[in-house]
Amino acid sequence: MFENLGRVLVNYRKAAVALFVIGILVAGAVGSLIFSRLDSGGYSDPNSDSYKVYEYLRDDLKVEDPAVVVVIDAGDRDVTEPAVAQQALALEKLMAQEEGVTRTLSFWGAGSDANLKSADGKAAYVLIFGEGEAFSPGSQDLGKLFQEKYDGEFSGLRLYAGGVAVVGHAITKKISDDLKIAEAVSIPLTFILLAFVFGALAASAMPLIVGVSAIVGAFFILYLISLFTAVSVYSLNLTTGMGLGLGIDYALLMVNRFREELNKGKSVDESVITTMATAGKTVFYSGLTVLVTMVSLTFFPLPFLKSFGYAGVSVVALAVVGAIFGLPPILAMMGKRINKGPVRKSAMTPKDDGRWADTARFVMRRPVPIVLLSLIALGIMAAPLQNISFSQGDSRMLPASNPAAIATALQTERFPGQTGTPIEIITFDGANKVDALNDYANRISQVPGIVGVVPPQVIGEDVRIVAYQSMLPRTPESQKLIHDLRDVKAPTGTLIGGVAADYTDSQDGISRTLPWAFGWIAISVLLLVFVFTGSIILPIKAVLLNVLSLAATMGVLTWVFIDGNLQWLVGSFTVTGSLDTSIVILIAVVVFGLSMDYELFLLSRIREEHLEGRSNVESVATGLQRSARIITAAAVLLAVVFAAFVTSGVTSIKTMGFGVALAVLLDATLIRALLVPALMRLMGERNWWAPKSLQRFTLKH
């Protein structure tokens, strides 16, 4: 199939290139519209109790959480002083007139509600309510307005603008600004490294062709998806990172094989056709392996993670399309000009023997010590995992100097409870259970972490109880509090909602989904690698090594971002004592997929040598020589792309960049260069064993 496709692309090379370019231009024009449709939310589980409470409050009671929370700090004066009250009410009136504001609620306008006043009596809240969902673009516009206009000094008062709209806007803006910086750093540096790795300027442009086509194509698909469901702003980082990374991977493999065939004396057309039949096939199956891995993200109930799944599947699919449909006709048109603009001539001539083959032979002469030392190193890196803890992103992801982070920290420090994010308790058909609900309200007020409970309020047939917690809502502490509250015996029909419950249900939903997602990854990868290699042993080994590599990566992430080490390298960040659950899952899935990408690159060449009659040792040595340079170069380049995200001021993006960069480098060195050849030497010819009854299901090379 791939050989025939190669013939078609060679015969119609000009038409194929023209269609490819037109496709990129159209996708780019339409895909650019995605930037105005992104949101920074998507952390809720739509099937949870907390979401049912949210829908009830929104649809039936028309109750919504404040979009903006403004703290008015009177300095040394008490907020009850007439002069302060007069100034505050005038400010509230101005705020109420802003576009997008539906209503306001303040300490001064709500009958001096104690829940809206700081513990020291020197500051108080003005709650701003707006239209739309909390993290929607419209809400973020409101957040932008209030951060720019109502954060600062006003006639002797100090205003701090916070709340979900302000934090959402601050995160989205920071990510957008950081993405530009990351691209400004990574793209030129990547091109310089590409020129060094490929040895020629013409060849070094090939990964950018594949990468750019994958990125703009993914933006086009994400735009179409955004017409039907929410797409997270965070998916842009994954799209650009994986697009460039896979473009590098696949272009390296294709161009390297094309050069090999040219060096054998084949014509340009024959070289392209052979490249498609070998490297093209590997690209397709390795891409399929990464794609099915990324599909697992769509299993999770959170739209945030689903967005990453959509982005991952889109960019992987289009990277494969760019590599096997766009690149071959370009190579056919360029021919030997692929080596034009030489930078490093030694990189333009693939070698059958060299330092990578020598490394493989050295490892295979001492497989047991190499395996033991490698496992010890991985174990040391994984050791900090015992301290790992999880939470969700909040304002602490921002730099501590960001006004939104300052405002949120101020609320936590000076106010007795999270007034802007209360715990909402609804008892459906509870109007005839008022006595029982009064008793229930009294009992939940005794739960550690609860600082205040508003008495039950009868609304038609239902009853509403509002409680205030002391801690930030998206933290492990608030998750424990919600579990404790749900353990308190409640009247029938009682559901607990609010931001803390929303966070808890999201975390619990992720925990329930993890076995299914990981099961899908393991089974699909085992099957695909078996079909590709014809071996039962190699897929199992690949999965186990990936698990070890992931454990080591997560251990280092714990040591850095939970224990607060290495800030001189990754930049300063607020140490929260936890990792963002969704980002950890994303790193795990992306790294697992990319690791399988490299695994198939290596195994395809080893398998090819083995089928030509070489011994197991020589197959591994020659296969490593012909692929390890590609794998290492691709890993370094991919690490540069993701390491650029470490410059971000948003901790979750910084974590993703550092985690993926570390994992791919670890995988390309310790795993592929040492553990894989050592284990293949220990297994010998058993590497290629499979029951005869299953051999008919394997791919013919």
Tell me, yes or no, whether 82 and 145 share the same domain. yes
Q: Of 102-116, 124-138, 221-235, 303-317, which has the strongest mean pLDDT?
A: 303-317
pLDDT, position 348: 56
Can you give the pLDDT at residue 353? 57
Query: How far from the centroid of its chain's Cα atoms is residue 95's Cα?
Result: 36
State whether 210 and 158 are in the same domain. Answer: no
CA–CA distance, 186 with 207 (Å, rounded to integer): 14
Residues 268 and 203 both lie in one domain: yes
Please tell me the number of Cα atoms within 13 Å of 290 on its side-chain side. 32
Bridge partner list, 125: 71
Note whether 19 and 112 are same-domain residues: no
Q: How far does CA 405 lie from the centroid of its chain?
A: 22
Q: Which pLDDT value is given to residue 188?
A: 81
Last residue of a domain, one of 482, 505, 528: 505
- Among the listed residues 559, 617, 595, 589, the one whose alpha carbon sits nearest the alpha carbon of residue 670: 595
- Split at pLDDT 50, 70, 90, the class of 366 is confident
- Residue 621 CA to residue 599 CA, distance in Å, equals 15
Location of structure tokens 């032979």: 361
pLDDT of residue 560: 94
Is 629 contained in some domain?
A: no
CA 349 – CA 200 distance, rounded (Å) = 11
Provide the β-strand partners of residue 516: none
Alpha helix locations (H) across 199-322? 201-204, 206-226, 235-263, 268-275, 281-295, 303-321
**Residue 377 binned pLDDT confidence (cut-offs 50, 70, 90):** very high
Mean pLDDT of 506-521: 90
Average pLDDT, whole number, for the chain?
84
Q: What is the mean pLDDT of residues 682-688?
A: 81
What is the arithmetic mean of pLDDT over 82-100? 87
pLDDT value of position 362:
83
CATH number at residue 135: 3.30.70
More reliable by pLDDT, 95 or 623: 95
Q: Stretch 461-483: mean pLDDT, rounded?
A: 88
Per-residue pLDDT reduced to its tens digit, 250-292: 888 888 888 888 888 888 888 889 888 888 888 898 889 889 9
Asked whether 657 and 645 are in contact (CB, 8 A), the reply is: yes
Say if residue 31 is in the same domain as residue 76: no
Q: Please report the DSSP string for 273-294 in residue order.
A: HHHIIIIIHHHHHHHHHHHHHH
Residue 477 domain flag = yes
- Whether residue 409 sits in one domain with residue 306: no
What SS3 class is residue 63?
coil
Q: How many domains does the chain have?
A: 3
Confidence band (pLDDT; 50, 70, 90) for 24?
confident
Q: Residues 662, 187: contact at Cβ < 8 Å?
A: no
Domain co-membership, 406 together with 454: yes
pLDDT of residue 203: 81
Is residue 387 classed as helix, strand or coil in its secondary structure?
A: helix
Cα gap 619→624, rounded to integer Å: 8
Please indicate, yes or no, whether residues 332 and 267 belong to a single structural domain of this protein: yes
Task: Judge whether 252 and 636 are in contact, CB under 8 Å.
Answer: no
Of 319, 350, 381, the residue at which a domain comes to its end is 350
What pLDDT, in 10s, does the model give residues 310-357? 999 999 999 999 999 988 999 888 888 888 877 766 655 656 555 766
Strands (E), 88-194: 101-106, 123-130, 152-154, 157-162
Single-letter amino acid code for the residue at 2: F
How many DSSP H helices and E strands does the chain contain? 26, 13
Residue 86 belongs to a domain: yes
Sign of CA dihedral 616, 620, 626, 631: positive
Task: Provide the residue range defining the domain that includes 454.
Answer: 399-505
Whether residues 259 and 301 fall in one domain: yes
* Integer angstrom CA distances of residue 31 from 135, 190, 318, 330: 21, 24, 13, 24
Residue 477 has pLDDT above 60, yes or no: yes
Verify that 99 and 28 share a domain, yes or no.
no
pLDDT at 557: 94
Q: What is the pTM of this model?
A: 0.79
**pLDDT at position 496:** 93
- Domain containing 309 — which CATH number? 1.20.1640.10
CB 198 within 8 A of CB 204: yes
More confident position, 41 or 629: 629
Q: Per-residue b/e over 99-136, b at no fewer than 16 CB within 10 Å?
A: ebbeebbbbbbeeebebbbbeeebbbbbbbbbebbbbb
- Higher model confidence: residue 614 or residue 471? 471
- What does DSSP say about strands 494-498 and 152-154: parallel, antiparallel, or unpaired? unpaired
Same domain, 222 and 340: yes
Residue 302 domain-assigned (yes or no): yes
Average pLDDT over residues 481-495: 91
Domain boundary among 505, 527, 553: 505
The pLDDT value given to residue 138: 66
Cα 30 from Cα 525, distance rounded (Å)? 34
pLDDT band at 616 (very low <50, low <70, confident <90, very high): confident
Q: State the Cα angle at 51 between 406 and 501, rounded to 5°.
A: 50
| 24 in any annotated domain | yes
CA separation for the pair 234, 239 (Å, rounded)? 9
pLDDT at 599 over 60: yes
- How high is the pLDDT of residue 484? 94
pLDDT over threshold 60, residue 701: no
With DSSP H G I counted as helix, E B as strand and the rest as coil, what are the percentages for the chain, rounded to 5? 70, 10, 20
Q: Is residue 462, in this structure, part of any structural domain at all?
A: yes
Q: pLDDT tens across 527-544, in order?
A: 888 888 888 888 898 889
**196-207 average pLDDT score:** 81
What is the predicted pLDDT for the residue at 135? 58
**Is the pLDDT confidence value at 570 over 70?**
yes
φ and ψ at 459, to 5 degrees? -130, 95
On the question of pLDDT at 215 being above 80, the answer is yes
Q: Give the model confidence (pLDDT) of 647-659 as tens digits.
A: 888 888 899 889 9
Please check whether residue 314 lies inside any domain of the structure: yes
Q: Give domain status of residue 253, yes or no.
A: yes
Whether residue 266 is found in the same domain as residue 330: yes
